[in-house]
Structure 1
Amino acid sequence: MKRVLIAGAVLLFSANALADECASATTQTDLNTCTGQQYQAADKKLNQTYLAVMKRAAVPQRDLLKKAQQAWIGLRDADCAFAGSGTEGGSIQPMIINQCMTEKTVEREAFLASLMQCEEGDLSCPLPPGN
């Protein structure tokens, strides 16, 4: 339950931060660029968290985590392609896709980060508690 609350708080904070960062953009190109940069930053943070989780995971779990992450990437990409399909060919499409990619990436990073907070005796958490 604690992990769900942490992930929820991160998502609420990140949604407001995403909107504020691009508030000064004045053209669609600026918005597309800004949202693209937001996605790249979220992806970088996700990759750092993923590597930390991989280090903490037991050797047999690493293949499972890798498969889960690859499946999640496929789902994220398909969901965001669908989300942007209503604006196919429009100048706003990259922004819609970038926002979707960012939101889903922030959500995944929060989930993986929550796994790093496992408490002793929590059998629903696959990682050992931190030191």
Structure 2
Amino acid sequence: MKRCILALTALLLSGAALADECDSASTQAELNVCTAGQYQAADKKLNQTWQDAIKRATPEQATLLKKAQQTWVNLRDSDCEFVASGVQGGSIQPMVHNQCLADKTIEREAWLASLLQCEEGDVSCPLPPAH
């Protein structure tokens, strides 16, 4: 439960921060570039957290986590293609796609980060606690 609350808090705070970053954009092209930057920043943070999680995992867990992450990437990409299909061919499509990618990536990073907060004896958490 504690991990869920931490993940939800991170997600809510990051969504507000992302919206503020693009407030000064005045054209669709600028919004598209801004949301692409937001996705890149979220992906960078996810990759850092991923590295921390994979280091903490046992070899067997690392194999499972890699499989889960690849499956998640495929799902994220497919979901975002679907979300952006509603504006297919429009100038807003890159923004919608980028925002979807950023949102899902932030959510995944928060979830992985929550796994790094496991306490001794928490059987709902697969990764061992930090020492």
Runs of 4+ in 1 over 4 A off after TM superposition: none
Q: Which amino acid aligns with 1:82?
A: F
CA shift for structure 1 position 84: 0.2
Q: 1:61 is matched with which residue?
A: 61
Q: 2:11 is matched with which residue?
A: 11
Q: 2:90 is matched with which residue?
A: 90
Q: 1:70 is matched with which residue?
A: 70
Q: 1:24 is matched with which residue?
A: 24
Q: Which amino acid aligns with 2:11?
A: L
Percent of residue pairs identical: 65
Q: How many residues were matched structurally? A: 131
Q: 1:115 is matched with which residue?
A: 115
CA shift for structure 1 position 33: 0.1
Which runs of 5 or more structure 1 residues have no equivalent in the other structure? none
Which runs of 5 or more structure 2 residues have no equivalent in the other structure? none
CA shift for structure 1 position 127: 0.6
CA shift for structure 1 position 67: 0.2
Q: Which amino acid aligns with 2:42?
A: A
Pairwise CA RMSD: 0.4
* Distance in 2 between residues matched to 1:49 and 1:12, nearest whole Å: 18
* Distance in 2 between residues matched to 1:105 and 1:21, nearest whole Å: 17
